[in-house]
Structure 1
Amino acid sequence: MMMNDLERALALEEARRQALRDAEPAAFDLQGRAKREEGRPESQKSFAVRLFTLARQAATAMRAVCHYGWKALDPLVHGLARTALWLAPRLLRLGLAFLHWLTFRKDETGRYCLAPWRGLANGIKLMILATAMPLLLGALYYYGTWETYRDIYVPNAGVFINQSFVRPSEPGQVIAPRDEIFTVLGKQVEPDGTIMPIRFDIDANFYFWFYHDANRPDLAAAKIDSQSPYGMKCTFEATGIYTRLPRYIRFWAVKWLDTRAEIVNVVKCEELTALPKAFPEEK
């Protein structure tokens, strides 16, 4: 008797599940509705089903792209891993040999022994080199790119400050300390008559301590601030390779290496009373 009741309950449950499978899919069951409308023309399908189909196709395409893209990175990852495995022991041996050279010395018998004073002295030397090397490289860069730019035409609105107060809006902070960097936007006439835009920055540069303009960028910018509607014609001494680099290389060079073309000396400037002949006249 109990078995008959169990069989009857199982049969009823199976019938209920079959009825659910045969029923009309709910409004939120997009997968069931898409399967039901699969044979219809595209114009007769509901908007929700068409949108669901597009989303499913896009997801499938995205999975395929990610799969093949992920597999395409395998050669690069394997190459990097092999390079790292090849370099790691060699770099470790090199580092240990360098550390051994710093802290050990030979005694009278020719054997190496630990020498703390030698290690301390060599550590101080390394600190001095780490401090002096950037200064030496900076001097090499600035003096190596130091040159004179002649006949630079600067309009009367071509000089402006692009960095001023260190903390301009923090409550309770003194805003007097300033880090002023001025920008000069001008034009240069090439020998073939081409007019090329050119940009300089004016910032304090201690490498050129012997120039007053390198110590006082604000006063150097004041010399280029024109009162004439036609601007000024100036000759500058500037350093840096900013103006010689392509745009995107220049952007990253300025961001990471600080390679701006900095005016270190305003040689001379004269106010213009007319537009230079090389420039096209306004109509």
Structure 2
Amino acid sequence: MKTALLQITSSDDPAANLQMVRAMMAEAAEQGAQFILTPEVTNCVSNSTTRQREVLQHEEDDTTLAGLRAQAAEWGVWLLIGSLGIKTHDADGRFANRCFMIDPKGQIVARYDKIHMFDVQVTETETFRESANYRPGNKAVIAETEFGKVGLTICYDIRFPHLHAALAQAGARILTVPAAFSPVTGAAHWEALLRARAIETGCWVLAPAQTGTHPKTRGKTRHTHGHSMVVAPWGEVLIDAGTDPGIHFFELNDSSVSEARRRVPSLTHVRAFDGP
């Protein structure tokens, strides 16, 4: 299956981001892609709560979601919307960081809310507290597709191997990790974490990423690491997209999963244990 990762630099203007992604989706589909993946917070990258409250929408009203569903149906492609910032009806007003798997008819076949919140102080000047604006999800999700079971995760989730192991043990043969990774932690850990999750599970790991310096209306400027990656089930990095926006194609095949798991069948060797 010809598959395409979109590496993008979203602004804090969802309408402009939708136009950009639709154009890239059309180009990918014209070149034969049957499965297209976008990064985390495709609709809006912003450090400003005020701006997020101005432009984010509830799922039922979200124009980015509607526009990308229509685009998937128009081209007859599978689409992973890596995530959208979505308003919720929670009393505390926090948003959801929500991934969507869209089928070739434009229907939503799975939703996943990011479980692990990025609450860290990366450097003396760079602090993130994702949980202040986003409420965590509490359910692991597998999307059923015609090309296999896909385990859905988002960005910081990559640091929690038990989540990915649980998805693989439940039948996932592909793991998706859309991201907007910090340049500091990205340079240190991104590739190593993605390769580790692939090797541990014998899954394809597909990681479309935000990249560069993100245009903003207000708030602090946000920078992301880029380097969208495709890691094969044996741990080889097949794509490292660098730091420029663009479309990156590869052939997704299930036989690689079977071969990696035949060589090292670690998923069948999991044992319960006491302690520590």
Higher CA-based Rg: 1
Q: Which has the higher helix share?
A: 1
Q: Which has the higher strand share?
A: 2
Q: TM-score range by the shorter chain?
A: under 0.3
Higher relative contact order at CA 8 Å, sep ≥6: structure 1 or structure 2? 2
TM-score calculated relative to the size of structure 2: 0.18
TM-score calculated relative to the size of structure 1: 0.18
